[in-house]
Amino acid sequence: MKSLTVIGAGISGLTCAIYAQRSGFRTVILEKAGGPGGVSTSWKRKGYTFEGGIHWLIGSRPGLPLHDVWTETGALGAGNPVFYKDPVYTLIDGDTVLELPRSLKKMQKTLGAFSPEDKVALAVLRFHVWCFTFFHTPILDKGGLKVRHPRRFSLPEFLKMGPALLLTPYLMSISAGRYIKRFRNPHVRRLLEAVVDPRINALSLIYTLSTFDSGDSGYPEGGSLRMSQNMADTFTSLGGRILYRTPALGVRKTADGVCVLTESGTIKSDAVVISSDARTAIDKLFEEPVQTRWAKRLRRKMHTAQCMFIALGVRTDLSDCPRCMKIVLRRPLEAGGLSFDSITVNNYAREKEYAPEGCTTLTCILSGSTYYYWKAEREKGLYKQRKQEVIAEFISRIEEELPQTRGLVEATDLATPLTWERYCDTFEGSYMSDWMPWHFSANAPIRFLPGIFFTGQRTAFSGGLPVAAHSGWRTAQILCKDFGEEFIRK
Ligand SMILES: Cc1cc2nc3c(=O)[nH]c(=O)nc-3n(C[C@H](O)[C@H](O)[C@H](O)COP(=O)(O)OP(=O)(O)OC[C@H]3O[C@@H](n4cnc5c(N)ncnc54)[C@H](O)[C@@H]3O)c2cc1C
């Protein structure tokens, strides 16, 4: 039996480890943190659950290949049915309230009635989104690999994706923000800006809207914690081992395998899969920083997707407020050296067990690159103070916009890029790479050296959880092929 060490129990590492273990590798995962999930995680403060991972999960829709990966790895199952919020966003700007319905048809109707001057732009948007409703992440078996339960990708399936593929170069060439500018009504523009970071390419916007319409992106009950714990349970039930609080300190190729250095000794195996951030790994895990062409390109060309995550526990029931509010602020919020004139607030009042009875958890993601701001503040010894200032500013904006919360905030937290760097060792504290207009992501290869593989966010285009799962699955296939093993899906 071949042995495998996987570095990292994030979604990509778990996916790879599950398929490898099932396909006959004796697999051990080394995880730096105390639990599974990596950056896809939630945590508790004073009885409130702060969902710091999944907001929507692409692959939620049964019948699609990515959904198969989620069920084969145990990520989705009977214990966590998927919930679909509708409307997906609600814009609140003073007295103006405007909803973004999940269905494309309803979206065109609602926004068209609100903003007749945008009828043409809406028709174009609807057409673009419609093209993508037949698109899904193709998960193809590697050529020449022996696969139990092979996947079939039929010609009609491919042809249906044709319109989306034809549209892709155009959508990749402009930013979501520029795409949205064609709408005349400022409220419609603001609402659409809630869907994805306006700096990234328009493909992300259109594809995300299409997954809302097709039902391919929902929220699994129990969120990121239950999902990653399900995956860890699947892995251990297959006989795999996870060593938590065991950071890998180095990787070394030997004549007959690979050694991974840990604080308590060396683990020797036939192969190693590095699922921790490849951008960090090339500088930290090898004796010398990796200097291959792809590594230099990765250093030069990668855009990190960074955010700050703010969560509040409020001693009041906000179930009469929308689930996801894009609030236009009366006064901008200054945070991490950036200024925000609107915030997107997730309201978990309707989620059972996310807060004590009669109370509510609110969370907000503020996108933007703030790693170097926070690093500088930490060097000046001001990190904690600045965090408290941001939290106080944020509470004051929430109290202004939702006066029923005044004086009732009893739990708070703020994660900055330094938080993700500390817990998950991600490069510049990022959670994936940003997919900018005209930008073809610089990636690490999956097979680096014989027996040494990468998986995860930096081995593919940008895309969060689906990319993590897809790359984990693909790495397991390449591993099986290299070692002459049959790939067993289920
Ligand atoms: C606030 C937030 C919201 C998000 N919302 C969504 C969403 O709604 N939908 C979506 O699709 N995506 C979302 N994402 C993105 C998504 O969660 C990530 O892109 C994805 O989980 C990355 O998975 P990964 O396995 O590639 O990497 P990681 O999660 O970074 O996994 C790597 C693992 O390796 C471990 N590790 C690192 N170094 C070492 C070492 N030396 N030794 C041992 N272990 C090590 C880390 O602790 C980690 O567990 C969100 C991310 C954030 C931060």
Q: Which tens digits make up the pLDDT trace of 12-67?
A: 999 999 999 999 999 999 999 999 999 999 999 999 999 999 999 999 999 899 99
**Residue 135 or 37, more confident:** 37
pLDDT higher than 90, residue 136: no
- Ligand 1 atom closest to 415 (CA): 1
The yes-or-no verdict on residue 352 having pLDDT over 90 is no
Above pLDDT 70, what percent of the chain? 100
Q: What is the pLDDT of residues 199-254, one digit of tens each?
A: 999 999 999 999 999 999 999 999 999 999 999 999 999 999 999 999 999 999 99
pLDDT of residue 305 exceeding 90, the answer is yes
Above 80 in pLDDT, residue 165? yes
User: Taking residues 149-168, what's their average pLDDT?
Assistant: 90
Q: Is the pLDDT of residue 372 over 90?
A: yes
Report the pocket of ligand 1 as residue ranges, CB < 6 Å: 7-13, 30-33, 38-40, 52-56, 247-248, 275-277, 307, 309, 365, 424-426, 431-432, 456-457, 464-466, 468
Closest atom of ligand 1 to 37 CA is 49
Whose alpha carbon is nearest atom 4 of ligand 1? 53
The answer to whether residues 238 and 28 touch, using CB atoms and an 8 Å cutoff, is no
Q: Which atom of ligand 1 is nearest to the CA of 14?
A: 25
pLDDT of residue 442: 82
Mean pLDDT of the chain: 95
Task: State percent of the chain over pLDDT 90.
Answer: 91
pLDDT of residue 364 exceeding 90, the answer is yes
What is the structure's pLDDT at 156? 87
Contacts 24+ apart (CB under 8 A), 183-189: 183/115, 183/118, 183/121, 183/122, 184/115, 184/117, 184/118, 184/121, 185/114, 185/115, 185/117, 185/118, 187/91, 187/93, 187/96, 187/98, 187/114, 187/115, 188/98, 188/111, 188/114, 188/115, 188/118
pLDDT computed for residue 164 by the predictor: 95
Q: Which domains does the chain have, with CATH numbers?
A: 3-38+221-302+438-488 (3.50.50.60), 99-138+150-214 (no CATH), 307-424 (no CATH)
Rounded distance from Cα 13 to ligand 1 centre (Å): 10
Q: How confident is the model at residue 259 (pLDDT cuts 50, 70, 90)?
A: very high
Asked whether residue 441 carries a pLDDT value surpassing 80, the answer given is no
Q: Given the CA of residue 11, which atom of ligand 1 is nearest to it?
A: 25
> Could you tell me how many residues make up the chain?
490
Cα–ligand 1 centroid distance for 469 (angstroms): 11
Q: Which of 264, 304, 362, 465 to mutate to test the pocket of ligand 1 (most atoms within 8 A of CB)?
A: 465
Is residue 486 very low, low, confident or very high in pLDDT (cuts 50, 70, 90)? very high
